[in-house]
Structure 1
């Protein structure tokens, strides 16, 4: 399983090409040969960059859904809408297709934020707004999501 770390800022040029920071590129180096999948986020106005190995794991889960159940079929269609296979060019740039740029509102200033096994790609203003909006509820969310985790190795220290 991939475990990516960090939040990085960058700039997209007029064609939607984005230079990845050297720190992020170093983390992605083992995955460069396989390529990546870029898609719309389900919950936010941003894009999600999946290393191909992580995308294949996700698709294995999606493929277990019964497509003769309408809700499942609708989910699969929407989840995979606009999905693109992406590779870095010889200059280490990632090309964000126009339709995905428009979805995420990406113009020039971009934030790439690691989310465990994927990278979210945001327009910088949208990212800062989403983070500011989430600050208010984060303590409650953290308690709700992480507060009930039991671990046999838990020593009570966080």
Structure 2
């Protein structure tokens, strides 16, 4: 289970140092082998342990290819999916096309999201987070399922 938020700098070659707490979990789950793809809802990246990604990919590729909406998701998620592996220094190399999509430069934010991680540019995350906080305070924006969770 991945949770928490980490601010991490990308190096000049596009390498991201995975925090030790996530690196240890990834070593156990998938031997440090992951898949990075785009988030179709936000300009960010999704990072999955390979075993989790394979389950999602199987579901995506089983969708009917004659459905234009399904085909669009297949092209976006599977088409951008890139295998990455943690190197001996605990880093992953992010391809330039994925960094460009998410607007990643030096300052990034890595967010644990249960079975996956999200990677955002720091500026983009801060703007989106502030937007989310405004919506949380507006109960008309919350579904019944969310309202039923007791904090």
Cross-structure match for 1:57: 55
Q: Secondary structure at the match of 1:81?
A: helix
Structure 1, gaps ≥5 residues long: 150-156
2:132 is the alignment partner of 1:137: no
Which of 2, 6, 22 is residue 4 of structure 1 equivalent to? 2
Is contact 1:101-1:107 (8 Å) kept?
yes
- Summarize the alignment of residues 4-153 of structure 1 with structure 2, pairs less than 5 Å apart: 4-33=2-31, 35-139=33-137, 140=139, 141-148=141-148
**Whole-Å separation in 2 of the counterparts to 1:86 and 1:18:** 11
Q: Secondary structure at the match of 1:57?
A: helix
**TM-fit CA distance, 1:70:** 3.1
Is contact 1:46-1:121 (8 Å) kept?
yes
Larger-Rg structure: 1
Structure 2, gaps ≥5 residues long: none
- What TM-score, normalized to structure 2? 0.88
